[in-house]
Amino acid sequence: MKMRLLAPALLSIVPLQVTGAETSAHFPIPEALVAEHKALHVTLGRAVKEPGALGAAARGVEQVLHPHFQREEEIALPPLALLPRLARGETPPEMREVLRMTDQLEAELPKMLEEHKKVVAALSAFRREAVAAGREEYVEFADELTLHARNEEQVLYPAALLVGRFVKLQLKQ
């Protein structure tokens, strides 16, 4: 992910989450991840207003991406708020509440991975239009969002699921 996504100016203005998804006060989504979603959301918000085939392709991305981001901000990203404390060996009493989210994530994982395939397919169509229109910023955006999905599949979703498994182990002790 490019460093400009994490610019200090952006970090200072990001809301708790991007989509208006309902989140738990105990588990605020880590700021760096909010900033990344926000940056992607802002660029896509510009792209959907572009005229012609480029804008139409961007709207195709938005259609599959928005509900996906929303669900992610409800169940996949908040559990990551516990990571630093669990890694320090702490066992906060509210950790039990994370299981509601991690159990749901486990159940919905196949659907979320399927949605990633749809997002990546829509992005590939958008990227072709961006190349044809000579809009390098949108080509970069398509590559960044594709990488974002890979990061979630390879690191963030497994980390959130591990939080749930670890909390269950701790509660058994």
Binding site residues, Fe ion, CB under 5 A? 72, 152
Tell the smallest beta-carbon distance from residue 93 to Fe ion (Å). 29
CA dist., res. 168 & res. 58, Å (int): 41
Would you give the distance in Å from CA 25 to the centre of its chain? 18
Q: Return the number of the residue (133 or 159) whose C-beta is nearest Fe ion.
A: 159
Using the structure block, give the residue that is written with the tokens 């590939």. 124
CA dist., res. 100 & res. 76, Å (int): 11
Tell the smallest beta-carbon distance from residue 31 to Fe ion (Å). 15
Q: Return the number of the residue (33 or 95) whose C-beta is nearest Fe ion.
A: 33
Q: Return the number of the residue (58 or 95) whose C-beta is nearest Fe ion.
A: 58
Q: Return the number of the residue (50 or 72) whose C-beta is nearest Fe ion.
A: 72
Q: Which two tokens stand for residue 160?
A: 């959130």
Return the residue nearest Fe ion (CB atom).
152
- By CB atoms closer than 10 A (0-12, 13-18, 19+), residue 18 is buried
Using the structure block, give the residue that is written with the tokens 């599959």. 64
Q: Return the number of the residue (53 or 64) whose C-beta is nearest Fe ion.
A: 64
Tell the smallest beta-carbon distance from residue 46 to Fe ion (Å). 18
Tell the smallest beta-carbon distance from residue 112 to Fe ion (Å). 7
- Give me the helix-helix angle, 98-132 and 52-71, nearest 10°: 170
Using the structure block, give the residue that is written with the tokens 């955006």. 141
Tell the smallest beta-carbon distance from residue 40 to Fe ion (Å). 8
Going 107 to 102 to 34 to 152, the CA torsion angle's sign is negative
